[in-house]
């Protein structure tokens, strides 16, 4: 199968599996796992933060990040289409008693500054306490500009808000803009980073921030069931990805651009956006279901649930891209 549904479908390489097998292990809930400890220290340094904490998933890392910032009855400002708000089961509200204050994302994924300012509540018993601004980078493949991030986080600080970034694909942003992870994390109090997307680990995310924030997060992580025992097996995969897979994201971006270029040649397909490793298209209504079925029949999977999206990742080669375009061409030739 050529699986373009998401970059989460990547499988660990043989070298990554070897690194996992060779990892020295201990009980991480006791703080005893040397591989976890080394990975967290390396990542914190690379992100320019005091501390890092390993999580099984990005959903849990975001949830615990929000819970480490906000108390019961607080609210966080977030985009309508942000993963934390839309695709994480409402965890902040359900498990954290944190009220989301969603505002509409601009087409580039940013949250308009005037809308952020307007959403901040006055200190009044009628209102939840506005405590946090959460952004996402990349969002829908788009990289938030450094200038925007600076302005949005400064605005948050002016209003006394903390800032969290869902950086599930922040390494894609780093590679696409040739910017260090440290620079991209610098404006935020906390950042959630995923290793199980384009970086190819079977699982593993991390939250980075101040020592105090990570200490609070460690308690919440335990409470929500994220205290893992011999977690070095996961940390070793994440460390391997950090050491060997980051630069490869540039290939994904180049291949996504080629895919978008090829798709744009079909009159029934409109490429609505392509950025980093994601391509969004609109397909003439009459062709959506039959084309998806044709693709599946010919070994290609695409995402149709949220939007018509194709995501390029390290298990997709140059020839896979050409093959997908060829299969689509054959569909339209016979349609
Ligand atoms: C932007 C974003 N944030 C967070 C997550 C959650 O990560 P996980 O699937 O590891 O829970 C995802 C997952 O696809 C994501 O796309």
pLDDT tens digits, one per residue of 250-300: 999 999 999 999 999 999 999 999 999 999 999 998 998 899 899 999 999
Q: Which residues of 183-200 are buried (b: 16+ CB within 10 A; e: fewer)?
A: ebbbbbbbbbbbbbbbbb
CA of 86 to the centre of ligand 1 (A): 11
CA of 277 to the centre of ligand 1 (A): 15
Q: Please tell me the predicted confidence (pLDDT) of residue 335.
A: 85
The total number of residues shown for the chain amounts to 335
Q: Please tell me the predicted confidence (pLDDT) of residue 29.
A: 98
CA of 169 to the centre of ligand 1 (A): 9
Ligand 1 atom index nearest CA of 196: 10
Q: Report the distance separating Cα 191 and Cα 62, nearest Å.
A: 8
Ligand 1 atom index nearest CA of 6: 14
Ligand 1 atom index nearest CA of 59: 11
CA of 282 to the centre of ligand 1 (A): 23
Q: Report the distance separating Cα 131 and Cα 164, nearest Å.
A: 11
Which residue has tokens 């384009």? 198
CA of 8 to the centre of ligand 1 (A): 8
β-sheet bridge partners, residue 200: none
| Token representation of residue 126 | 């009628």
Residues 6+ apart with CB under 8 A from 135: 79, 82, 110, 111, 144, 149, 152, 163, 164, 165, 166, 188
Q: Report the distance separating Cα 174 and Cα 24, nearest Å.
A: 30
Which residue has tokens 């043989």? 14
Provide block-wise average pLDDT over 10 residues at a time, the chain (335 residues): 96 98 98 98 98 98 98 98 97 98 97 98 97 98 98 98 98 98 98 98 98 98 98 98 98 98 96 97 91 94 79 98 98 94
CA of 330 to the centre of ligand 1 (A): 34
Q: Whose CA is nearest to atom 5 of ligand 1?
A: 58
Q: Please tell me the predicted confidence (pLDDT) of residue 219.
A: 98
Q: Is the pTM of this model over 0.95?
A: yes
Ligand 1 atom index nearest CA of 166: 3
Ligand 1 atom index nearest CA of 82: 1
Pocket of ligand 1 (CB under 6 A): 8, 57-59, 62, 83, 136, 166, 168, 194, 196, 205
Q: Report the distance separating Cα 328 and Cα 181, nearest Å.
A: 37
Q: Please tell me the predicted confidence (pLDDT) of residue 308.
A: 85
Q: Please tell me the predicted confidence (pLDDT) of residue 305.
A: 60
CA of 83 to the centre of ligand 1 (A): 7
CA of 181 to the centre of ligand 1 (A): 18
Pocket test for ligand 1, best of 56, 62, 65, 83 (most atoms within 8 A of CB): 83
Q: Whose CA is nearest to atom 13 of ligand 1?
A: 58
CB 240 within 8 A of CB 200: no
């Amino acid at each position: 199968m050529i699986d373009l549904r998401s970059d989460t479908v990547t499988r660990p390489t043989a070298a990554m599996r070897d690194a996992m097998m060779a990892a020295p292990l201990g009980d991480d809930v006791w703080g005893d796992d040397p591989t976890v400890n080394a990975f967290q220290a390396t990542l914190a340094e690379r992100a320019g933060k005091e501390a890092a904490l390993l999580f099984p998933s990005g959903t849990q890392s975001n949830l615990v990040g929000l819970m480490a910032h906000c108390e019961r009855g607080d609210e966080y400002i977030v985009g309508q289409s942000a993963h934390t708000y839309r695709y994480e089961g409402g965890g902040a509200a359900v498990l954290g008693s944190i009220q989301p204050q969603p505002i509409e994302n601009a087409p580039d994924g940013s949250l308009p500054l005037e809308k952020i300012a307007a959403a901040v509540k006055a200190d009044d018993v009628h209102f939840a306490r506005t405590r946090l601004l959460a952004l996402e980078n990349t969002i829908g493949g788009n990289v938030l500009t450094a200038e925007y991030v600076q302005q949005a986080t400064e605005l948050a600080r002016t209003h006394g808000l903390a800032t969290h970034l869902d950086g599930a694909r922040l390494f894609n942003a780093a590679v696409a803009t040739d910017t260090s992870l440290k620079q991209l994390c610098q404006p935020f109090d906390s950042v959630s980073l995923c290793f199980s997307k384009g970086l190819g680990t079977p699982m593993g995310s991390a939250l980075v921030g101040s020592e105090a924030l990570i200490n609070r997060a460690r308690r919440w992580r335990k409470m929500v069931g994220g205290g893992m025992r011999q977690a070095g097996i996961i940390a070793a995969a994440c460390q391997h990805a950090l050491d060997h897979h980051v630069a490869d994201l540039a290939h994904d971006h180049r291949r996504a651009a080629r895919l978008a270029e090829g798709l744009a040649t079909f009159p029934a397909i409109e490429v609505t956006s392509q950025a980093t490793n994601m391509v969004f298209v609109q397909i003439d209504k009459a062709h959506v279901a039959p084309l998806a079925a044709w693709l599946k029949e010919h070994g290609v999977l695409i995402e149709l649930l949220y939007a018509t999206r194709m995501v390029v990742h390290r298990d997709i080669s140059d020839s896979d891209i050409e093959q997908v375009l060829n299969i689509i061409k054959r569909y339209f030739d016979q349609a």
